[in-house]
Chain A
Amino acid sequence: KQEVTQIPAALSVPEGENLVLNCSFTDSAIYNLQWFRQDPGKGLTSLLLIQSSQREQTSGRLNASLDKSSGRSTLYIAASQPGDSATYLCAVKAASGSRLTFGEGTQLTVNP
């Protein structure tokens, strides 16, 4: 059974800092990995999706990497802003039509 773990559970940083969020998964046979953002009381917004054949994806100040063999992914946020404050979830998919398995999330607070 796939298990997804995110470290740290919470992170507080000053504005402008670069930061890394970690995600690990127990079964390396994944189809893709996705990072989501969730604001309090809201649904999920997809940030980046990395296919199993890819090593990284970038969007603006966000960069996600994937190391399938070690079962790890990182989400790098450059020059953090207070607006980045949210919970970040990673999720893996075992096969094209299968379910997403979510991590517990990292609650990020960026202080002005």
Chain B
Amino acid sequence: GAVVSQHPSWVICKSGTSVKIECRSLDFQATTMFWYRQFPKQSLMLMATSNEGSKATYEQGVEKDKFLINHASLTLSTLTVTSAHPEDSSFYICSARVLTSGPYEQYFGPGTRLTVT
């Protein structure tokens, strides 16, 4: 099956610094990638949808200047949390949609645990 990787799997950073999370589709091309945020014991909240080569579409309430998304190629999307604060600490999960349509359109990465101190 299709594999999506994320790097790093966990990161600790100081308040005020920026952190970049990578999401890669390893064995398929993904025209669309999704970024989710998950708080403890809660479900996934869609943050933004990114299409290769174009600007990301952010969900209501998500600050686009704080969560920068770049989808530069069909296999790589990055999420940069700028000027991170403790409230940004969360589990971030990306998902990639295969280029060709099919029932299993979205595949999920293993997630990145961000802790801001």
Contact = CB atoms under 8 A, between A and B. Distances in A.
Contacts of A49: 103-104
Interface centre among A102, A103, A107 (most CB of B within 10 A): A102
A103 B43 contact: yes
B108 interface: yes
B44 A99 contact: no
A97 B44 CA distance: 18
A13 B49 CA distance: 38
Interface of A, secondary structure class, is strand
A56 interface: no
Contact of B43 (A32, A42, A46, A104): A104
B106 A100 contact: yes
Contacts of A42: 110-111
A97 B100 CA distance: 11
Interface of B, secondary structure class, is strand
A32 B103 contact: yes
Contacts of A104: 42-43
Interface string B4-29: 10100000000000000000000000
Contact of A89 (B44, B95, B113): B44
A41 B91 CA distance: 8
A46 B104 contact: yes
A46 B110 CA distance: 12
Contacts of A32: 103
Interface of B: 4, 6, 32, 34, 41-44, 46, 49, 91, 93, 95, 101, 103-111, 113
Interface of A: 32, 36, 41-46, 49, 51, 89, 93, 96-97, 99-100, 102-105, 107
